[in-house]
Chains A and B, each alone.
Chain A
């Protein structure tokens, strides 16, 4: 069955079995990956997946499933099992019906490139180009992942929403290692082959790895910090993720009770933009079929909205922001509004501080307060009078999300789409400049 036929079959069956409302998404994904380490390809991979996602509702009760077996009989059996599950559930006082369609979806530019969809062995050439550049720039061992592919989704709801979208994506992450702990990282990503620059990603990784050689320990304390784009991607992925109303309502967010309040420096504006041209997370409709839009999450430091689906919106007495997730609303493309300084001018603002290129392994002591620590890596340098004065080792970032947000003192003017492995809160990509924050805490081991 084609995606459309599959979705129509599932929707029809669900309603025939007695569901009052249903949403179905038929999804096809063909992805490939070239992984490399020690300057060699370690494995090549291909995935070919067809899955069906179904949400059923009746009497203010909700159930859902994800199915890999999409043969008609298997789908029919799964829907019967869902109805049986529905029968024993308790109603939800916060239940909200699916949005009333039909809807018109404006196309988004630049989401599909046949050259990425059809790419095979030539991906290895791009990987070799990145490895060679990283070595030329000073890396000795180069590792990374080049992941690319295409996906197609067909969404149908019992409220008349009908959406179809396809897109391609590619992300090349390069990590170069020089001596010992010295490492650097570069990223290039996008939806089109022309967006990718493997040579630059390799060069940046190699250059940072070389600069990271001979690191010295530094005393713990508070430092002014310039966060590199990989670190910003991790941080703003968390910030945007924490504005999901699901996490707010679960106590897993430091934005509880903060809507309309100042939560960041007035220099910071943060957007969720599902309609970004060539954005890795761009999409014309959400999982409930609502047309998506660009919106400010934080505007000049003030928290303007949480991210909602229909149910969380009802709980908060507001409208959906078209960020469904049937359970967890989530951001699409997180966009940090750039400032007006070049990267170099931003560096010149720092009298004595740190440059932290990447932030990984972020773990919270208390999500509700925002207290966390993170491992910093891939280029951590002491800056004095605006200049890099050598690499630093042994420090751990130990601070608080709200404190970092309110300590932002500058942003550079060049924002780049960034995506990598350590973005754990689900943003497909973050478009970010460099960010300067004042007096951020760093700790060291005691033994």
Chain B
């Protein structure tokens, strides 16, 4: 179907498109799910098709099809153009794309252990091994009546062509592990944990995760919180946040509000807009210790890519630099609207989705403290290592994270577990309260949702452990 992508662009230009692009994707995903020791799902999804986007009279049209039929393709290209043309009358300002270099490239992630080189039995066995540990109370110290374990391995092959002369192909294997665990202690109720690992790699990534040990350790900690956790302290205290929490906080409160399409209002009806406006570039948002980047080029990362889905070469973006709002995430449309170049943040989750502004791997750069030094002069505080419930308002200003694994800090030392500390804080409140970061940069994997229809794209988010001063925990 690659030739259909070429043909679509050719046809669109002939029919009057000022710009046209087409992406052929072939995505193959294998899934294995074990629920409470039962093989709930084994199967695969094989998707392929062409997505076409045209710019006509300053309006944007998109069309996709999964049938390799030239007559159908022509019909869909014509419809994309006619719908775009009809919608142009509503535009006060025509949509423009930033000028970008036409690229010809081919890139791939080469797996050390391709998925098809590992026996299917071994993949299922791994899930059974994890389940066996989770059901052994001597191993994890708590009853775990509910266990949902999933491995999903995929290979995406993409070919991009546009009327500017770009031709880019790529091949990326990705793997995701997901676990939902429910621990039960009859007198104390339940506590749940979600563990997610992801990488752009082959099966070697799964081996490196040591899933049996990882799940045993996480569940032991969960059980301890459930059995021994006490209420968090009241009043203003110091809070140390673990990498996993910091990662999601920067994803939600820096990555999303710095997406230029949100800033310009394009997502207003769905995920929302942003408290950030274009004139806030250069303004202080947090302590000078804070630098947040989004970087698609981190090797092995779940959000890895070298060219985005508009054919622009990827690079690291400094969203917050030394506490100052430095750069937004752009595709070619938002870049043109704000008079800059695209920084290659256009991603489409599949051939049947338009490329929109997305994060890749968003993280706070680490500092120079040891973890113990973060605790040293904390008289009374809480270390929130992992989170459970979280959300943030649609302008990305008011957020809440509830700790899952959390501990009291007293006299500079970690003490016993704390159950469900609530951190409810504004975005400037968070970045402005950071006074120390340790050296330990770590990443978590996730599937970021945005767009309509929704597009889930693979991302990493991360950071070091950080310390916040003088923050009261929330909740009722």
Contact = CB atoms under 8 A, between A and B. Distances in A.
B189 A446 contact: no
A145 B269 contact: yes
A447 B391 contact: no
A395 to B, nearest CB: 9
A444 B399 CA distance: 9
Interface in B359-406: 388-395, 398-400, 402
A216 B71 CA distance: 58
A76 to B, nearest CB: 13
A424 to B, nearest CB: 9
15 contacts: A44-B59, A50-B67, A63-B43, A82-B44, A85-B43, A120-B86, A127-B90, A143-B266, A251-B148, A374-B391, A375-B391, A375-B393, A396-B391, A396-B424, A447-B425
Interface in B404-431: 420, 422, 424-426, 429-430
Nearest to A446: B472
B87 interface: yes
B48 A47 contact: no
A43 B354 CA distance: 9
A447 B429 contact: yes
A368 B59 contact: no
B388 A365 contact: yes
Contacts of A278: none
A32 B80 CA distance: 10
A365 B384 CA distance: 14
Contacts of A67: 45-46
The main secondary structure of chain A at its interface with chain B is strand
Contact of B87 (A41, A48, A365): A41
A341 to B, nearest CB: 29
A364 B39 CA distance: 26
B104 to A, nearest CB: 27
A94 B46 contact: no
Given A121-B86, A177-B265, 5 more contacts: A44-B59, A68-B47, A120-B86, A375-B392, A375-B393
Nearest to A180: B395
A367 B192 contact: yes
Interface residues of B, number: 92
Interface of B: 33, 35-36, 38-49, 59-67, 72, 76, 79-80, 82-84, 86-87, 89-93, 95, 119-121, 124, 145-146, 148, 180, 182, 189-192, 264-270, 272-273, 352, 354, 388-395, 398-400, 402, 420, 422, 424-426, 429-430, 433, 452-454, 471-476
Contacts of A90: 39, 124
Given A89-B124, A371-B389, A144 B83 contact: no
B82 A92 contact: no
Interface of A: 32-51, 61-70, 74, 78, 81-82, 84-85, 88-90, 92-94, 120-121, 124, 127-128, 131, 141, 143-145, 147, 173-175, 177, 181, 185, 220-222, 246, 249-252, 327, 360-369, 371-375, 377, 394, 396, 398, 421, 441, 443-447
Contacts of A69: 46, 48, 66
Nearest to B75: A48
Contacts of B124: 88-90
A77 to B, nearest CB: 10
B398 A443 contact: no
Contacts of A360: 394
B41 A327 contact: yes
A63 B39 CA distance: 10
Contacts of B266: 37-38, 42, 143
Contacts of B426: 445, 447
Contact of A368 (B47, B182, B453): B182
Contacts of A38: 264-266, 268
